[in-house]
Structure 1
Amino acid sequence: MELRQLKYFIRAAELQNFTDAANELYITQSTLSQQIKQLENTLGVLLFDRLGKRIRLTEAGNLFLPHAYKTVLQATEGQQVLNDLIDLKTGVLNIGSTYGLSALLVKALPIFRSMYPQVVVNIIFGSTNELLQKLDKGTVDCMLSFMETNDDGQLEIHRLFTAHLSLITHESHPMADYKKIKLTEIKGLTLALPSAGFSIRQLLDKIVAEAGVQLNIDMEVNDINTLLQLADTKNWCTVLMNSSLFGFPSLRAIPISHADFKRHATILFSAKYYRKHALTAFNKILKDCAKEFNPK
């Protein structure tokens, strides 16, 4: 059993398609098929059902997949431990982030790059739920979000700065100059909101239900940048963290005056995996940059 075979198997399982997996791995489909067949022969079981041009995991494949993930991650961690031992400033850093923390990332990344110019940095944006799954699998080394609590003890959470859930509107909107706004004042506005998988939407829904307020939700979108673009058209308002306003100078963030609408931006690490030196350095840089985002 070879490490590359496990990597091929994982990507094919994720995409459920040999052709797509081969393209992403920069190998031919025949090479991918041969390597997976050799892996199946070694294990003595079929990992995939071949259904014409489609594939799906067998029961054995589903059982084997988490072990494949674990083996590949352990091998990667082992290499990183040795790199750190001899102080090699190389490797890969996979950073997961919600869109609302883009501005903080843009502040921190040039400083990190100057310290670790040979480290390849991958930025993966997603909702809190999506990033938690990636953090658990080890496909991201850390995640930036507004998640503050952890019940299972598998996450280490560090606070970065305080943000406010706010009404986001175009500068030409009659409410654009408000210093604060009440929840009841936004119920008549035409809103485009984040989809249910976003933690800020879950927070908003909870408070709205408790207050007995009915919002005029015209659209739900699972991409924060798209919501900001919609608000920029002047046809919709949205509700996001004020830190989300990155790259949209014509939009305004009006804090919603509710005690529970303050949230702490955080960086999360999995307690299951080795923390490489580059990640520790990035965490320190991020915390230094976050000081600029705290209210004066």
Structure 2
Amino acid sequence: MELRQLRYFVRTKDLGSFTEASRSLNITQSTLSQQVKQLEEELGVLLFDRFGKRITVTEAGELFYQFAAESLKKANDGAVLLRDLNDMNTGTLKIGVTYGLRNLFTAVLIKFSEAFPGISVRAVFGTSDELMEKVRSYELDLALVFFGEPDQESLAYDTLFSSPMALVCADDSRFKGNKAVSLKDIAGLPLAIATKEYSADHFFLRLFRKHRLEPDFKMEINDISAVLDLVRTGRWYSIMVEITVRESSLHTVPIKEKNLLRKAAFVRLAGAYEKKAAKEFTAQLRKQLPELI
């Protein structure tokens, strides 16, 4: 039994598809199927029932999954622990950053690299949901994300601060200077938003539905900078986490409805060994946080 086979099995079970798992692992589907089949033969049980292209995990697979996931975590912890013996002179920190916190991340990264020049940083930008999934699959050491409430027991959340959702408008907007704006008012505006894959978008879309409002989405773009450029023209508005827009030439107007806060946090795998580099990066961010928000 090899760790590679355990990783393949766990990824397939998590995604529920050989096709999706092979794509995620960057291997061919035939290689993945063969390795899982060899694991099943060694164990003497079927881990998956196959129905054409569809698979379901068996009872044996459900039981074995807990062992496999724990084994992978312990093997990863052991490897990280040994690498940490280098005492921050070498190593790599793999960190994910949600788009709205990129400026915060960059400021901290500069100071961190000055303090620990021997540490290489591999940064990945993505949506909060995507990044949390990468943490769960051991692709990232930690991720800097926005969230509403913790919803994954497998992750540990280190909350940094909260920031409200706000209407984003141009300098000449009629809303500039308003103390607040309602969701009803926003629903009638031409909106340019980051695509609905962004967690913040999921958050306020649910709010619109809760208030039985139909927002007017004129533009949906999977890039926050492009959305902000559209808003600067004065033809469109947007809704974002307030801190995302703070250093731009645009204006934000608070939304009247309550509980429109998004929390920024570092997330990592719960119960896993935490790299010294990850601890130091988190500490550096907390040290700089008062001057950055």
Match of 1:244 in 2: 244
- Using the alignment, how far apart are the partners of 2:43 and 2:51 within structure 1? 21
User: Aligned in 2, Cα 1:154/1:17: closer, same or farther, shift over 3 Å?
Assistant: closer
Pairing 1:118-197 to 2, within 5 Å after superposition: 118-127=119-128, 131-132=131-132, 135=135, 139-147=139-147, 150=150, 157-171=157-171, 173-175=173-175, 177-178=176-177, 180-183=179-182, 185-192=185-192, 195=196
Pairing 1:47-66 to 2, within 5 Å after superposition: 47-49=47-49, 54=53, 56-59=55-58, 60-66=60-66
| Count of residues in Structure 1 that have an aligned counterpart in Structure 2 | 286
Shifted more, 4-13 versus 14-23: the winner is 14-23
> Which residue identity lines up with residue 242 of structure 1 in the other structure?
E
Q: CA deviation at 1:3?
A: 0.9
Q: CA deviation at 1:21?
A: 1.9
The CA deviation string for residues 89-120 of structure 1, in whole angstroms up to 9 with x for no partner, is: 45553434432212111222233344154445
Q: CA deviation at 1:6?
A: 1.8
TM-score normalised by L of structure 2: 0.73
Match of 1:290 in 2: 289
> Which residue identity lines up with residue 17 of structure 1 in the other structure?
F
Q: CA deviation at 1:236?
A: 3.0
Q: CA deviation at 1:158?
A: 4.0
Root mean square deviation of aligned Cα = 4.2
> Which residue identity lines up with residue 254 of structure 1 in the other structure?
T
**Contact 1:179–1:254 (CA under 8 A) maintained in structure 2:** no
**Contact 1:242–1:253 (CA under 8 A) maintained in structure 2:** no
**Contact 1:89–1:278 (CA under 8 A) maintained in structure 2:** no
What are the ranges of 5 or more consecutive residues in structure 2 without an aligned counterpart?
none
User: Aligned in 2, Cα 1:99/1:29: closer, same or farther, shift over 3 Å?
Assistant: closer
Q: CA deviation at 1:280?
A: 0.3
User: Aligned in 2, Cα 1:105/1:62: closer, same or farther, shift over 3 Å?
Assistant: same
**Contact 1:138–1:273 (CA under 8 A) maintained in structure 2:** no
Shifted more, 223-232 versus 5-14: the winner is 223-232
> SS in structure 2 opposite 1:163?
strand
Match of 2:17 in 1: 16
User: Aligned in 2, Cα 1:97/1:15: closer, same or farther, shift over 3 Å?
Assistant: farther
What are the ranges of 5 or more consecutive residues in structure 1 without an aligned counterpart?
none
> SS in structure 1 opposite 2:105?
helix
User: Aligned in 2, Cα 1:281/1:57: closer, same or farther, shift over 3 Å?
Assistant: same
The CA deviation string for residues 181-225 of structure 1, in whole angstroms up to 9 with x for no partner, is: 42265353123456497357536855996xx69463336959563
**Contact 2:18–2:33 (CA under 8 A) maintained in structure 1:** no
